[in-house]
Structure 1
Amino acid sequence: MIRFWTLVFAILLPIQAMAAPVRLKDLADFDGVRGNDLVGYGLVVGLDGTGDSLRNAPFTEEMLAGLLERLGVNVTDDALRSKNVAAVVVTATLPPFARSGSRIDVSVSTIGDAKSLLGGTLVMTPLKAADGNIYAVAQGSIIAGGVAVEGEAARVVQGVPTAGAIPVGARVEREVEFDFAAVQNIRIALRNADFTTATRVEDAINRDFNRRLAVAQDSGTIVVEFRQLGDVNPARVLGRIENLLIEPEDRAKVVIDHKAGTIVMGEQVRISRVAVSQGSLTLRVSEAPLVSQPNPFSAGETVTVPRTMAEVREEPGIGFAEVSSETSLSDLVEGLNALGVRPRDMIDILKSIHAAGALHADLIIE
Structure 2
Amino acid sequence: MNRLLSFLRPLALAGAALAVALPAAAQAIRVKEIAAVQGVRSNQLTGYGLVVGLDGTGDQTTQMPYTAQSMNNYLQQMGLSLPPGASMQLKNVAAVMVTAQLPAFAQPGQAIDVTVSSIGNAKSLRGGTLITTPLRGADGEIYALAQGNLLVGGAGASAGGSKVQINHLSAGRVPGGAQVERAVPTPFALGETIDLGLNSSDFQTASRVTDAINRAMGAGVASALDGRVVRLRAPANPSERVAFLARVEEVRLDAAVPTARVIINSRTGSIVMNQAVTLGACAVSHGNLSVSISSTPVISQPNPLSVGGQTVVSEKANIQISQDKGSLIQLDTAPQLGDVVRALNTLGATPQDLLAILQAIKASGALNAELEVI
What TM-score, normalized by structure 2, do the two folds share?
0.86
Q: Is the 8 A contact 1:181 1:233 kept in 2?
A: no
User: What percent identity do the matched residue pairs reach?
Assistant: 41
1:136–1:231 Cα change, 3 Å: closer
Give the equivalent residue in structure 1 for 2:339. 331
1:41 aligns with 2:69: no
Structure 2 residue 234 is the aligned partner of structure 1 residue 236 = no
Task: Answer yes or no: is 1:308 the counterpart of 2:341.
Answer: no
Confirm or deny: 8 A CA contact 2:293 2:320 kept in the other structure: yes
2:60 to 53, 69, 73: 53
Match of 1:126 in 2: 134
Q: Go from structure 1 to structure 2 and tell me whether the alpha carbon gap of 1:78 and 1:22 turns closer, same or farther (over 3 Å shift).
A: farther
One-letter amino acid of the structure 1 residue matched with residue 105 of structure 2: F
Per-residue CA distance 1:168-208 (angstroms, 9 max, x = gap)? 10001111233633332111111211111111111111111
- Kept after mapping to 2: 8 A contact 1:281/1:314: yes
* Distance in 2 between residues matched to 1:124 and 1:100, nearest whole Å: 17
The SS at the match of 1:288 is: strand
Match of 2:81 in 1: 74
Residue in 2 that maps onto 1:4: none
Counterpart of 2:320, as a letter, is E
Structure 1 runs (4+) greater than 4 angstroms displaced? 229-232
The one-letter code matched in structure 2 to 1:243 is E
Conserved 8 A contact 2:334-2:343: no
> 1:51–1:83: 8 Å Cα contact kept in structure 2?
yes
Higher Cα Rg: structure 1 or 2? 2
Distance in 2 (CA, whole Å) between partners of 1:293 and 1:87 is 63
Q: Which 10-residue stretch deviates more, 101-110 or 275-284?
A: 275-284
- After TM superposition, give the deviation of residue 259 of structure 1 in Å: 2.7
Q: Which residue of 2 aligns with 1:277?
A: 285
| Partner in structure 2 of residue 212 of structure 1 | 220
CA–CA separation in structure 2 for the residues paired with 1:230 and 1:139: 40
Between 331-340 and 50-59, report the one with greater CA deviation.
331-340
SS of equivalent residue, structure 2 residue 125 = coil
CA shift for structure 1 position 18: 8.9
Asked if the contact 1:21/1:248 (under 8 Å) is kept, the reply is no
* Letter paired with 1:346: L
Equivalent of 2:104 in 70, 92, 96: 96
After superposition, the Cα gap between the structure-2 partners of 1:339 and 1:91, relative to the gap in structure 1 and judged at 3 Å, is: closer
Partner of 2:266: 258
The Cα of 1:230 is off from its aligned counterpart by 7.8
Between 1:200-209 and 1:231-240, the stretch displaced more is 231-240
Q: 1:130 to 1:18 in 2, by over 3 A?
A: farther
Indicate yes or no: 2:109 matched with 1:106: no
RMSD: 2.3
Checking the alignment, whether the CA contact within 8 Å between 2:282 and 2:366 is kept in structure 1 is yes
Kept in 1, the 8 Å contact 2:152–2:172? The answer is: yes
Q: Distance in 1 between matches of 2:334 and 2:50?
A: 61
Identify unmatched segments of 5+ residues in structure 2: 1-23
Q: Taking CA–CA contacts closer than 8 Å with sequence separation of 6 or more, which of the two structures ends up with the larger relative contact order?
A: 1
Deviations 1:110-164 (A, max 9, x none): 1000111100000000111111111100000011132232234232332111011
The correspondence of residues 121-160 of structure 1 with structure 2, limited to 5 A, is: 121-160=129-168
Q: Pick from 176, 190, 194: which aligns with 1:186?
A: 194
The whole-number CA distance in structure 1 between the counterparts of 2:323 and 2:256 is 46
Residue 363 of structure 2 is aligned with which of 348, 355, 364?
Answer: 355
Q: Deviations over 1:304-354 (max 9, x none)?
A: 43311122233455x222223464332222233345444443333212111
1:116 maps to which residue? Answer: 124
Deviation at 1:79, TM superposition (A): 4.2
- Change in Cα spacing, 1:239 to 1:338, as seen in structure 2 (3 Å) is same
Which runs of structure 2 are paired with 1:13-32 in the superposition (5 Å)? 20-32=27-39
Distance in 1, Cα, partners of 2:347 & 2:197? 44
Pick one of 273, 276, 294 that aligns with 1:286: 294
**Where do 5+ consecutive residues of structure 1 fail to align?**
1-16
SS in 2 for 1:289: strand
Which range is displaced more, 265-274 or 305-314?
305-314
Moved more, 259-268 or 198-207: 259-268
